[in-house]
Amino acid sequence: MTATTDGSTGAALPPRAAAATDTDITTPAAAGVEEAARRAVQRATDFLLARQDAEGWWKGDLETNVTMDAEDLMLRQFLGILDEKTAEAAARFIRGEQREDGTWATFYGGPGDLSTTIEAYVALRLAGDEPDAPHLRRASAWIREQGGVAASRVFTRIWLALFGWWKWEDLPELPPELIYLPRWFPLNIYDFGCWARQTIVPLTIVSAKRPVRPAPFPLDELHVDPDHPNPVKPLAPAASWDGAFERLDKALHALRRVVPRRLRKAAMNTAARWIIERQENDGCWGGIQPPAVYSIIALYLLGYDLQHPVMREGLASLDRFAVWREDGARMIEACQSPVWDTCLATIALVDAGLPADHPQLVKAADWMLGEQVVRPGDWAVRRPGLPPGGWAFEFHNDNYPDIDDTAEVVLALRRVTHHDPERVDRAIERGVRWNLGMQSKNGAWGAFDVDNTSPLPNKLPFCDFGEVIDPPSADVTAHVVEMLAVEGLAHDPRTRRGVKWLLAEQEPDGSWFGRWGVNYIYGTGSVVPALVAAGIPAEHPAIRRAVAWLESVQNDDGGWGEDLRSYKYAEEWRGRGASTASQTAWALMALLAAGERDSEAVERGIRWLADTQKEDGSWDEPYFTGTGFPWDFSINYHLYRQVFPLTALGRYVHGEPFAGGKGS
């Protein structure tokens, strides 16, 4: 490892020749590129088919970082249910993720992250590791060098406050009366993105209660000055947003002392009802781990015992996020992605040439049809008259279907020859109607909500980690536009508004920003096929600029890659990184859609995919190419390395995908 532009000890800025594997791809394949691609398609198809669940779905592991595992242990410690087996299995995984310098990163090859390292350190202490052990000494020394606990994010300090390792009064105030703010009022809960909303509501209860469980050990070694762990910082200028909200936080701290007890109790009970009403059938909240963790803590503080059905099912749902590995390590998924993985796998298999009536594709379609959300959720706050019909990302998440999944499920269902075409048509009609109804006023689409664009939530002192709003993005908008085009709505005024927005969002260099995938390669790989499907000719200047950009960032090994640092240091890292299977596939999907099948860039990319494929038909991809929050929270979708290369290879071999809708 060498120093980077951000001063970390992650991977240095990669040369164009960087490769993701040790495969020598300069050796010509035994046959031509097309024959190599056909063989790769067959192997990848067999690999993917063999991994379908008997119920019809696919799901790869969703790998994030060790804060999921650390917070799971801290939750169990707080509730008094941490057992030795769980602690040791989690510790085994956490230790295995530590870097040589003693830190933990948030993505593969990334720089050490202070908050992640603090939480990992605490978790290992809970599992029994001694502070003078070499691996923990390295970690604590690095933590102090970075400013100690005082420099960590708010969420980390909340976890420490639960055990008295940090003072509640030194945290931003989050009053439960927030639940009463009307929907038109700034900073009401619906101004936050759905993931933030589900986290903030239970945390208002935790903030009001300020619980402290006896700490099993001190953490003085994580402070720069243990006698003064939180040095006073001067307030930002009052005329600035930061200064205004810092002063608001001081006022809320003062208000805490005078809020009538009955009002506070009523607010907490209202927040509790809000939480319980949003618990899913499987016991989780929103299908994601963080809101579930905080909801369980909040309800526990309000007197719900661990045998209460809500609590019992909530804890059971968290156990289902655990992935047990062969070495006995236990990794916690932040979320599970069966709907997303299944629709992408279906698209890949059909585009790779699997017959549209193949029994496994029909089974996948049956499962997806059964997952359609047919009741209103929080999205209906801003679209009260819109009939439901979307799909969520997870196994159970009826409150928060998402626009991206809905678009891709429709594209997948339209590719399958189903034995009940009328059922498919009805489901697609509901999905299309819902997606159209979720269009934001600027003509684009966000992931979960309409016009979730208030700048105020990001200014709160509490919100110092990740995105807390859900504005429209190029990748989601592109997937919706592509779906609408396939459904015969390319010339619909709503589709054209989306196309116009996408054209306006193109970066000067020809790329598009990727909100939910890394990064400009993902954005460009999503937008170009959508624009072409919607009737933008391959000769259009926007398409030509995109092609030129993709060709300019192709690695010397023939693949494409982009490091997550492009979210923070775009000028140095945009489109640059070690070649990966998924990112190479995204670039190829764009180039193929733009009519570049016979170009040298496509030939080199196809050859890279064929030559780096493993014998079993899979690809290795340790790099994180998925995005939860740009830079702050990154994802390695273990199925991305399969479905996207197969899609790209299939489109190279068989041509562009089916582009007609009902009746085509």
* pTM flag (> 0.85): yes
- The tokens for 535 are 């009737």
- Domain residues for the domain of 549 are 33-60+337-654
Residues of the chain with pLDDT under 50: 1-10, 15-30, 660, 663-664
Beta bridge partners of 636: 63
The answer to whether residues 318 and 421 belong to one domain is no
Q: How far is CA 555 from CA 286, 551, 642, in A?
A: 39, 9, 20
Domain stop point among 308, 332, 356: 332
* Active-site residue, 129 included: no
Specify the CATH number for the domain of residue 310: 1.50.10.20
By C-alpha distance, which of 648, 639, 647 is closest to 621?
639
Domain stop point among 332, 361, 376: 332
By C-alpha distance, which of 50, 57, 53 is closest to 392?
57
Cβ 110 vs Cβ 103: under 8 Å: no
The answer to whether residues 501 and 637 belong to one domain is yes
Indicate whether 16 belongs to any domain.
Answer: no
By C-alpha distance, which of 486, 447, 462, 495 is closest to 630?
447
The answer to whether residues 186 and 259 belong to one domain is yes
The answer to whether residues 361 and 245 belong to one domain is no
Given 404, 449, 475, 557, the catalytic residue: 404
Alpha helices in 181-308 (DSSP H): 194-209, 241-256, 261-277, 289-301
Amino acid at 555: N
Q: How far apart are CA 254 and CA 269, in angstroms?
A: 22
The answer to whether residues 326 and 401 belong to one domain is no
**What are the backbone dihedrals phi and psi of residue 335, each rounded to the nearest 5 degrees, phi first?**
-165, 170
The answer to whether residues 100 and 190 belong to one domain is yes
- 500-535 per-position pLDDT tens digit: 999 999 999 999 999 999 999 999 999 999 999 999
Q: What is the pLDDT of residue 181?
A: 95
The set of residues, in sequence order, having a beta carbon less than 8 Å from that of 39 and lying 6+ positions away, is 31, 610
Q: What is the pLDDT of residue 659?
A: 53
| Number of domains within the chain | 2
Cβ 456 vs Cβ 241: under 8 Å: no
The answer to whether residues 539 and 457 belong to one domain is yes
Domain stop point among 278, 304, 332: 332
The answer to whether residues 54 and 94 belong to one domain is no
Q: What is the pLDDT of residue 31?
A: 52
